[in-house]
């Protein structure tokens, strides 16, 4: 019986860890929006999430990490979606399809809250730029791996740059316009504009 129980323990531990991480993220974002990013302390977040300050560091290294945890999860989902696209698809179409699949999972209120936080804080803006650069490299790697035939790295990097730029600019416009447009429709419109420019 003990042998049967052992394999379940890591899964349960991982689920509990993920639940606490998600609770920390939700709590922190709510406090950031209520009090402002700079005015919210780590102690505030830990107390509101009902954990110790020390325990906070088991999940995040800083307040900034909490803000970007959501973006990292979305980026991982995007890379996985690109890898799953058919090899016969063009790189640009694969990127568009993957981004569309990703934004379908968005909770609009959460997404716009995150965008506003980053927009209004210079330190978060700078880190956001770094995150996009990391995403661009990861996207280029994923696009290169799924190609049906060897593809020139210049082409792969350019498509990754275009797709990442489309996400950044589209996200900024979407937030600035009050998130009125359906995110998937915005992705379609953005990539239609890209194709019109390239033709």
- For the stretch 84-96, pLDDT in tens is 998 888 999 999 9
Is pTM beyond 0.85? Reply is no
Structure token pair of residue 75: 């980026």
C-alpha angle 38/42/44, rounded to 5°? 90
Domain ranges of the chain: 1-60, 62-199
> Mean pLDDT, to the nearest integer, of 166-191?
89
Structure token pair of residue 134: 């990391």
> Mean pLDDT, to the nearest integer, of 111-117?
79
Q: Which residues contact 121 (CB under 8 A, 6 or more apart)?
A: 37, 38
Class level of CATH domain 62-199: mainly alpha
Q: What confidence score (pLDDT) does residue 94 get? A: 94
List the CATH code of the domain at 1-60. 1.10.10.60
DSSP state of 52: -
pLDDT tens for 120-158 read: 888 888 888 888 999 999 999 999 888 666 668 899 999
Which range among 5-14, 60-69, 146-155 shows the weakest confidence by mean pLDDT?
A: 5-14
Q: What confidence score (pLDDT) does residue 6 get? A: 44
């Amino acid at each position: 019986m003990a042998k049967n129980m052992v394999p379940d323990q890591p899964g349960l531990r991982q689920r509990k860890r993920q639940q606490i991480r998600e609770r920390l993220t939700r709590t922190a974002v709510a406090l950031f929006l209520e009090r402002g990013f700079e005015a919210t302390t780590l102690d505030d977040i830990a107390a509101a999430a009902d954990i110790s300050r020390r325990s906070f560091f088991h999940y995040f290294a800083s307040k900034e990490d909490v803000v970007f945890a959501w973006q990292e999860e979305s980026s991982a989902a995007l890379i996985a979606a690109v890898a799953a696209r058919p090899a016969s698809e063009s790189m640009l179409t694969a990127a568009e399809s993957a981004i569309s699949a990703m934004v379908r999972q968005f909770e609009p209120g959460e997404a716009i809250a995150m965008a506003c936080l980053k927009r209004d804080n210079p330190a978060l803006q700078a880190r956001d730029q770094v995150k996009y650069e990391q995403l661009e490299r990861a996207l280029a790697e994923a696009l290169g791996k799924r190609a049906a035939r060897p593809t020139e790295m210049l082409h792969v990097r350019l498509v990754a740059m275009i797709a990442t730029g489309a996400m950044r600019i589209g996200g900024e416009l979407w937030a600035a316009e009050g998130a009125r447009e359906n995110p998937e429709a915005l992705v379609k419109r953005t990539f239609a504009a890209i194709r019109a420019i390239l033709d």
